[in-house]
Amino acid sequence: MRPRGKAEGRPWLRALEVLRNCPSVIVHAVLLMSQRGRHQESKTKLEISPSETMKAEEENYKEEDKEPKSEDWRPPSVFGAADLKNRAVGLYNIGQTCCLNSLLQVFFMNIHFTKILRRISVPVCGTQKKNNVPYQMLLLLEEMQRGKQKAVSPRELAICLLAHRVTMFVQYDAAQLFLTLWNLLKKQMKNPELVEKLSDLYTIGVQEHLACQICSSETKRNSSMLTLPVPLLDSGFYMLKTLEECLQCFFHPEELTGHNMCFCEHCGKKTPFRQCVKLVHLPQTLTIHLKRFCFGRSAYIHKISSCLPFPQDLDFNEVLTEQQCQAYDSEKAAWQYELFAVVAHSGSTSCGHYCAYIRSLTECKWYCFNDSLVEQVSWDDVKSTYGHSDLSWGQTAYLLFYMKKHPQ
Amino acid sequence: MAQWQEVQQLPPTHLERVHQLYTNAALPMTVRQSLADWIEDQDWQQAAEPFSSHARMLFHSLLTLLGEQLGSLGPGDEDFMLKHNLRKARIDLQAAFEEHPENFANLVANLLQEERCILRRAQAKGQVEAPPAPSTAPQSSQEREIQQRLAEFRTALQEAERAFRHMEDLQDTFDFSYKMYYLPGQDHSHDPQYAQHVQALQAKLQSLDRQRREVVAQIQQLLGRSETLRDFLQQELSAWRERQQRSCLGAPTDTCLLQLQGWFTALGEGLFQLLQLLRAVGELRQKVTYEQDPLQSELPLLEKRLQEQLTCLLQSAFVVEQQPCMPNTPKRPLVLRTANKFCTRARLLVRLHDRNHRMEANIHIDRDPPKTRGFRKFNILTSSSKTVLVGDSPREGLVCDFQYLTLKEQKGGGSGKGSRGSNEGPLAVTEELHLITFTLAYAYCGLELKLETSTLPFVIISNNNQLSSAWASVLWFNMLSPNPKDQQFFSTPPPAPWPRLAEVLSWQFQSIAERGLSREHLQMLAEKLFGSKPSPESALPWTKFSKDGAAGFSFWAWLDGILALLHDHLKQLWKDGLILGFVSRKQEKKLLKVKRSGTFLIRFSESMLGGVTCTWVEHPESGPPAFRAVVPYTAAELASLALPDIIRDYQLLAEENIPENPLLFLYPDTARDEAFGPYYSQRHEGILTKKKEYLNQRLIRVSSRQPLSPVCCGCATHMSRGATVGSPGQCPGVIGHCAPLPAVSSPPMAPRCSAVSWGERRVVTSPSSTEPRPSNNEGTRWEREGAMWRDDVTQRSVMSR
């Protein structure tokens, strides 16, 4: 388990210390992080934390200090020259960071995101600079766009993330890491306007309905999500055929009966409920998480590698019915999406590799980001991430990023 | 081909870009040109990394090579400018990059990349014809894509190998230094030199680590590429399978495997090469490893992914190239007769093998037989295993060819003669589907696999008369089965949608008589089957196709009879479109009504198996037009006299006994001799003056017009026909012959009646250079049987008595 709390928090602090100061060389047991002969050793063996909610992260996180707001403000919706500079540049894998690298690429290739990132205020003092995720991301982005190198190392950012308990050198679940990264970004951007923009860019608004089947009393709750976690199997454990079907399945009402019955305050007892999720709002960048897991009889989780085609163009008005939406027509009119990026996973649940297929928004070409290797590819290559039932180690799409065609 | 060579062959528009690229580049084109191969062979990308010692090394090698180049140029004037340019370039380069050779490496790396970009763009526009592949056939975009991807895959593989070699070098240097300088046991805290060594060692390890990660990333990338490529090949392969299935049904398609074999082999080669590379990387890891070694965690994953891809590729590359077929019925594969020879062939499209390993292929029939009662079991009599022949030419490839196989039914233990009845399953023999499975123990480069492939299901018959219905089953299965291995297909055979069926029927005519069915033909067949115009939803159930039929035979039996007739006797006429063939009576009237008297058409009989007939129109002076048709000719008649000759000599005897040929114009309006002239058999001009013991004889067909005669004329015809054919029952209209005959003027359209009023006979006459015959031949004519068949009413009636 990942360390929690202050007392347990020590190992990672120690790791960080080791990372920064270790002077000796232990060949055959050396962790290489540095470019300039600064080498570190890491003996910390941290395991993957299975389910880490950002709540826990928030509790542990200590607001460091209030920083002066920067006056660096440009009018929105106009991209500066720098914003359009998003050449595809690789990121070195510095030890199982393929997952982080893929996600960073998805962030950096999104000009709507970099537009926000470039406007953050620069922290004043050194430690703040080092521990500020948005700032480190911006530095990395600048380094990528400035240099003529084919790849750069995300080392500083990795150290910064380590300071926020995002351990490196372990296998990550991309969806979870995406959430972690995003929450860190949101928290550390001091400018409320930017935070709002970031939320607008990524969060999905849904309304959860819970209705008692006996007295018909209904409770509604609005909530926002960062990803739409769609199932690949329907309630009868049959494989769904397309992404559209998965989305329909996600928004399909569920009957809570038997063991799943809930307590109804009106009836004063446990009653069958009907639960459903209605779509209220879709953001500029929509993230869909394909739940490619299947729980076998034992605790063993295995990966579903069968084929699931996803379209390049997605119109939510065609996918969802009137009842599944709770939005105005003007909002719904903008629900036309175009595929922007695919984070693909190859391997099994216990070990694997991530790479990202991203369509450059400025050039309109697909690129494949395999750590330090970046290559222009075609839609057919992206299609190869649909999955194959006969290739259990092949690459399969895991996170899909869709971009609104006509930004409001 | 070397990149620079390709660049030079670019069309002008793209070449312009290359010139632009080099105008402002610090590397002069002269240098690029004169050291093209060496430059392309180096890993500039790698050298461009910051703090790479490689960059300096490369830079100095380049300068040295330039010097050598200068020295090798002759003292002559012809190279004067070149020498000047090279010398200048050398000085300039030295001045510009001596301090920072990595900048130079970066420059070259970028230039090479830009060149590749331009090349790709040019290729994408199809403006560069790939010179190494002089294929004349126009390639589809898919084929071009595959070829380009294969080429890209090879290039990327070479790059990965280069990166690997670099990694090997790095590891060697590190390993050496490590053994030399790293002495952990002693106390070196006061030795500044030791600290330096260790620091250098650490730097070396870092660059090694970086290189390892680079190699891993490259292999990941390669595997991603090959997955797409494999998808493409899989698509092509399933398209081929479909083509093969269609061609089994007689469709004219190309089922050549050479191109697919080339692609599969190329990808297989690449993947095996990658496998070797992975193993070599694994060996390097055995020698040096460290914490967070990327190879430690990534290698097993890469290996698994690669092996899986290879396995999938090889499995799908094992295909049945030739479905089981008896040599004597090449147009109807998948129908096998017990005790008859048949052959089948499988091929491994990945043409890679280990010469020291003997590959053996085995065949099994019905390895997993369906659990149906009465399902017959068979043995393959001849050897069921065979060593795979390895031909060197691509045409041969890796082929296991089973040529002389025969099947023998296994008799159920202890069953006597009567047991067959009780053993009878729910399926007819011709609906029982069998499969042959090929297995191949494949081994190459340490990868051992058992490959397997199956033929399409086939039908086993024991008698030739089952051939037709067996073929119907094969048609139905291959037309409709969604699963190519479904042996239980006929337990619930689905109906065939008309458009699909129409296509398959047309292929039958195409393959047997080299001309498919026209829209009109299919229209008629559809009306016959569905009673109306077919809608796209019309579907024909299996029983209606092959079993039930109003006329005592099924639709398929009728059609197959026609196919046999066409194949044996009418191929040429059908091919050339002289036989209208499938025309309903209603349609026939409509067509002929507006034509002049004597216009005729040839169509197939609907009332009997394998019959063809002529219908002509006569316009009497008053009254509606009359349509006449002859009793259909069958294979038996056509065997003795070909249809064109029948048409030429066909005679109708009118009351006045003056023979006339009513067949004047082939529908729509081609004169008879013009249409059929080329098909008439050669006539030997009888030289009458020459003494000969016998004169040649010739057979002609005659019908008599007996509209008003009270005597039944037809009987003689039928009797005679009965005598020749040997089965009077075959002749329609025997019953009812003696019924009062209708008047000619009201054309009898009921099939039986029309046959009655137009009796037909066979007359043997003698040589006959010209018509009418010269009178001096009469004698001969009478000598022959002709006397018996003299076409006159009295004799005929005598005959019939």
Please tell me which residue, B211 or B78, carries the higher pLDDT value: B211
Per-residue model confidence (pLDDT) at position A155: 86
Instruction: Determine the pLDDT at residue A31.
Output: 29
Residue A317 pLDDT > 90 = no
pLDDT of residue A368: 92
* Tokens representing residue B765 in the block: 């006459």
Minimal C-alpha gap between B216 and chain A (Å): 10
Q: Given pLDDT bands bounded at 50, 70 and 90, which one contains residue B108?
A: confident
Task: Provide the pLDDT confidence category of residue B693 given band limits of 50, 70 and 90.
Answer: low
| pLDDT score recorded for residue B272 | 93
Q: Taking Cα atoms as reference points, which of B172, B168, B189 lies closest to residue B180?
A: B172
Q: Say if residues B566 and B574 touch (Cβ distance below 8 Å).
A: yes
Q: Whole-angstrom Cα distance, residue A372 to residue A360?
A: 17
Q: How far apart are the first and last CA of chain A?
A: 44
**Is pLDDT at A78 greater than 50 in this prediction?**
no
**pLDDT value for B183:** 75
Q: Which of B537, B526, B530 lies closest to B497, judged by CA?
A: B537
Mean pLDDT, to the nearest integer, of A394-405? 91
Query: Over 50: is that where the pLDDT of B682 sits?
Result: yes
Give the closest of A35, A37, A383 to B199, CB-based. Answer: A37
Contact indicator for B403, B389 with CB cutoff of 8 Å: no
* Contact residues, chain B, for A149 at CB < 8 Å: 48-50, 106
Residues above pLDDT 90, as percent of chain A: 15
Q: What is the mean pLDDT of residues B314-326?
A: 91
The two structure tokens encoding residue B451: 């490959």
Computed over every residue of chain B, the mean pLDDT equals 76
- Interface A:B, Cβ pairs < 8 A: 131
Least confident of A301-305, B698-702, B726-730: B726-730
pLDDT value at B296 more than 90: no
Measured in degrees and rounded to the nearest 5, phi and psi for residue A305 equal -105, 10
- Of residues A348 and A101, more confidently modeled: A101
* B contacts of A42 (beta carbons < 8 Å): 291-292
Report, as an integer, the average pLDDT of B14-34: 82
Residues whose CB is less than 8 angstroms from the CB of residue B84 and which lie 6 or more positions away in sequence, other chains included: none
Residue B762 in this model has a pLDDT that exceeds 60: no
Return the SS3 of B449.
strand
Could you give the CA distance from residue A103 to residue A99 in angstroms, rounded to a whole number?
Answer: 6
Res B100: pLDDT: 81
Specify the pLDDT at position B51: 61
Contact between chains at B49 and A149 (C-beta distance less than 8 A): yes
Note the ipTM here: 0.74
d(CA B76, CA B609): 92
Distance from C-alpha of A151 to C-alpha of B595, rounded to nearest angstrom: 84
Asked if B50 reaches chain A (Cβ–Cβ under 8 Å), the answer is yes
Which position has the higher pLDDT, B720 or B296?
Answer: B296
CA distance linking residue B518 with residue B506, whole number of Å: 8
Strand, helix or coil for residue B562: helix
CB contact at 8 A, B32 and B69: no
Asked if B187 reaches chain A (Cβ–Cβ under 8 Å), the answer is: no
Average pLDDT for residues B334-349, to the nearest whole number?
A: 89
The pLDDT, as a whole number, for residue A105 is 92
Question: For position A402, what pLDDT does the model report?
Answer: 94
Read off the pLDDT of residues B224-276 as tens digits, 9 standing for 90 and up: 889 889 989 999 999 999 999 988 888 888 888 888 999 999 999 999 999 99
pLDDT band at A26 (very low <50, low <70, confident <90, very high): very low
DSSP structure string for A112-150:
HHHHHHTTPPPPSSHHHHHH-HHHHHHHHHHHHHHS--S
pLDDT of B737 > 90? The answer is no
| B644 upstream amide cis, omega within 30 of 0 | no
Distance, CA of A305 to CA of B268 (rounded, Å): 23
Mean pLDDT of A308-329: 86
Distance CA B501, CA B647 (A): 33
**CB spacing of B48 vs A384 below 8 angstroms:** no
Report residue B414's pLDDT band, with 50, 70 and 90 as the boundaries.
Answer: very low
Report which of A38, A176, A33 is spatially closest to residue A100, judged by C-alpha positions: A176
Q: Which of A22, A26, A27 to mutate to test the interface with B (most CBs of B within 10 A)?
A: A27
Cβ separation A27–B178 shorter than 8 A: yes
Question: Does the pLDDT at position B388 exceed 80?
Answer: no
Measured distance CA(A281)–CA(A202) in Å, rounded: 11
Residue B173 has pLDDT above 70, yes or no: yes
Please give the positions of A annotated as active site.
98, 353
Greater confidence (B389 vs B12) lies with: B12
Lowest mean pLDDT among A262-276, A303-317, B121-135, B714-728: B714-728
Find the range with the poorest average confidence among A101-105, B81-85, B218-222, B458-462: B81-85
- Dump pLDDT digits (tens) for A36-58: 233 333 333 323 233 333 333 33
Instruction: Please report the sign of the dihedral spanned by the C-alpha atoms of residue B298, residue B302, residue B305, residue B307.
Output: negative
B282 vs A: CB within 8 A:
no
Is the pLDDT at B569 greater than 90, yes or no?
A: no
| Closest Cβ–Cβ partner in B45, B217, B291 for A371 | B217
Alpha helices in B249-361 (DSSP H): 258-287, 294-317
Query: pLDDT category, A342, cuts 50, 70, 90?
Result: very high
Asked if A93 and B294 come within 8 Å (Cβ–Cβ), the reply is yes
Q: Over pLDDT 70: what percentage of chain B?
A: 78
CA B99 vs CA B56, B93, B95: distances in Å: 9, 11, 8
- Going through B468-593 in order, the beta strands assigned E by DSSP cover 496-497, 539-540
Q: How far is B19 from chain A (nearest CA, A)?
A: 22
| Arithmetic mean of pLDDT, A303-332 | 86
> Is any Cβ of chain A less than 8 angstroms from the Cβ of B180?
no
Place of tokens 């002529």: B614
Does residue B727 carry a pLDDT above 80? no
CB contact under 8 A, B224 and A370: yes
Of A378-387, B112-121, B124-133, B757-766, the least confident: B757-766
pLDDT for res A240: 86
B213 and A92 within 8 Å at the Cβ level: the answer is yes
What pLDDT shows up at residue A83? 56
**Residue B191, pLDDT score:** 77
B124 touches A: beta carbon within 8 Å: no
From the list A287, A396, A303, A407, the residue with the least C-alpha distance to A350 is A303
DSSP assignments along B408-419, one per residue: EEPPPTT--TTH
Please give the pLDDT value at position B105: 85
Best residue in A153, A167, A353 to probe B by mutation, most B CBs within 10 Å?
Answer: A353
Nearest CA in chain A to B177: A27
Measuring CA to CA, which residue among B154, B179, B355 is closest to residue B268? B154
**For the purposes of burial, counting CB atoms within 10 Å of the CB of A218, is it exposed (0-12), middle (13-18) or buried (19 or more)?**
exposed
The reported pLDDT for the residue numbered B16 is: 84
Nearest to B308 by CA among B274, B265, B266, B262: B274
Single out the residue of B789, B563, B549 nearest to residue B659, CA to CA. B789
Least confident range from A155-159, B1-5, B66-70, B580-584: namely B1-5
B781: nearest Cα among B664, B702, B675: B702
Least confident span in A6-20, B348-362, B481-495: A6-20
What does each C-alpha distance from B581 to A31, B514, B601 come to in angstroms?
85, 14, 8
Give the whole-angstrom CA distance, residue B163 versus residue A372. Answer: 13
Residues in chain A: 408
Picking from B504-513, B658-667, B761-770, which range would have the lowest pLDDT averaged per residue? B761-770
Residue B782 has pLDDT above 50, yes or no: no
Half-sphere exposure of B681 (CA within 13 A, CB side): 13
CA A131 vs CA A112, A167, B326, B467: distances in Å: 24, 14, 79, 83
Pairwise CB contact (< 8 Å): A347 & B110: no
Q: How far is A356 from chain B (nearest CA, A)?
A: 11
Contacts of B142 in chain A (CB under 8 A): none
pLDDT at B395 over 80: no
pLDDT digits (tens, 9 = 90+) for B607-642: 888 888 888 887 777 777 777 777 778 877 777 777
Q: Report the pLDDT value the prediction gives residue A306, as an integer from 0 to 100.
A: 86
Residue A287 pLDDT exceeds 90: yes
Q: Token pair of A368, please?
A: 């494949």
Task: Give CA–CA dist B362/B402, Å, rounded.
Answer: 10
Strands (E), B580-730: 599-604, 611-618, 626-629, 633-634, 651-653, 659-660, 665-666, 670-671, 698-705
Q: What is the pLDDT of residue B657?
A: 63
* Helix-, strand-, coil-residue percentages of chain B, each rounded to 5: 50, 15, 35
pTM exceeds 0.80 for this model: no
Output the six-digit token pair for B498.
């008309």
Look up residue A383 and give its two tokens: 């299609």
- Out of B48, B210, B308, the one facing A392 most closely (by C-beta) is B308
Centroid of chain to Cα B176: 60
Distances (CA, A) of B181 to B173, B286, B295, B545, B659: 12, 21, 25, 88, 120
